[in-house]
Amino acid sequence: MTSSAAASDPSGLSEVQGWPGGMVSAPLVFVVPVRHPSGVVNPEQQYADHQVMMRSLEAQTDQNFICLIACNPEQRLPPAGDRIFRVHVDLPPNDALMAATTLEARALAIRNDKGLRFKAAMDVCGPETLMMVVDDDDLISRNLVAHVLSAPRGAGWVIDRGYIWNSGTDSLRPVENFHRLCGTSLILPAGLFLYKRGGASEHDAVQEMGSHKLIIDAAVAAGTQFDRIPFPAAIYRQANPNAEQANVLRIMQTQAAQAGGLKKRLKRAFYTVRRRYLPERKTLVSGPKVHPEATVPLTPEITAEFFGG
């Protein structure tokens, strides 16, 4: 549920609900869903990551956008410029995530929380507004908005080339089919989502808003074609103490212990052979492919493009 009451926030960020009419008029809107503060292991690290993420957005060469941070009223955020706003979402701690014992249960819990936060942002956007979810520790190319707003309008865009970055290191690993790895990878009109189109259950609409993979799978099933951004356009951050990879590792270790190691090793060998000798035809649903042999150094140019200088 979205709160209409203003909260005391040292960042000074305004609430979007305070706007005349309560509706966003920018052609492109970044939405940053931020989980409940109780689910964050290291709040100071999160605060620092939010600073870098905001600088990445604010460095766009085309400033015809706004950013909506969908968070709980008590969330502490860094100061930011006049294109970044809060959307308060009063959601409880995501206890289902911590209780998850399977990857599917984990995914369901994440999609529900993330989808409800995205829903709060979508409520103030018209159906023609282009929307992009940005995970709160990821980074995007400063050239992204300029490309999208200058390109012919199609069904939407995917970022299928990007990078993986381990926090604190000085190099990036290129990734193909980036949109199958990272949620910071889709730019779509609001009207494409089930929530805006109507006719779907609230559960299905929320789950779709919380999952970039569900959106892509539905598009492929419907024959919808998305354009691909023609340059590496986002960075997926790893080795972050606040990221959800820790939950994935916990669940996988538990499942491996229950099932035994042999099955896991055989499955890994099968996929290794398939990738090596039976390469996939590249489609929107092709899995991500990391290229560690083509590591890109974190040069001043790359830093300026993705980290806001």
First to last CA, the chain: 36
Mean pLDDT lowest among 4-13, 44-53, 108-117, 253-262: 4-13
Look at strands 186-189 and 157-158 and give their pairing: antiparallel
Per cent of the chain over pLDDT 90 is 63
- CB of 247 closer than 8 Å to CB of 153: no
- CA neighbor of 244 nearest in space, from 183, 295, 187: 183
Residue 51, pLDDT score: 96
Could you write out the three-class secondary structure of 183-211?
CCCEEEEHHHCHHHHCCCCHHHHHHHHCC
**Mean of all residue pLDDT scores within the chain:** 85
**Bigger pLDDT: 297 vs 98:** 297
Mean pLDDT of 49-71: 97
The C-alpha atoms of residue 217 and residue 196 are separated, in whole angstroms, by 18
Encode pLDDT of 249-288 as tens digits.
Answer: 544 455 555 555 555 655 565 545 444 444 455 567 778 8
Encode pLDDT of 14-48 as tens digits.
Answer: 676 545 456 788 999 999 999 999 989 899 999 99
The matching CATH number, chosen from 3.20.20, 3.30.70, 3.40.50, 3.90.550, for 16-306 is: 3.90.550
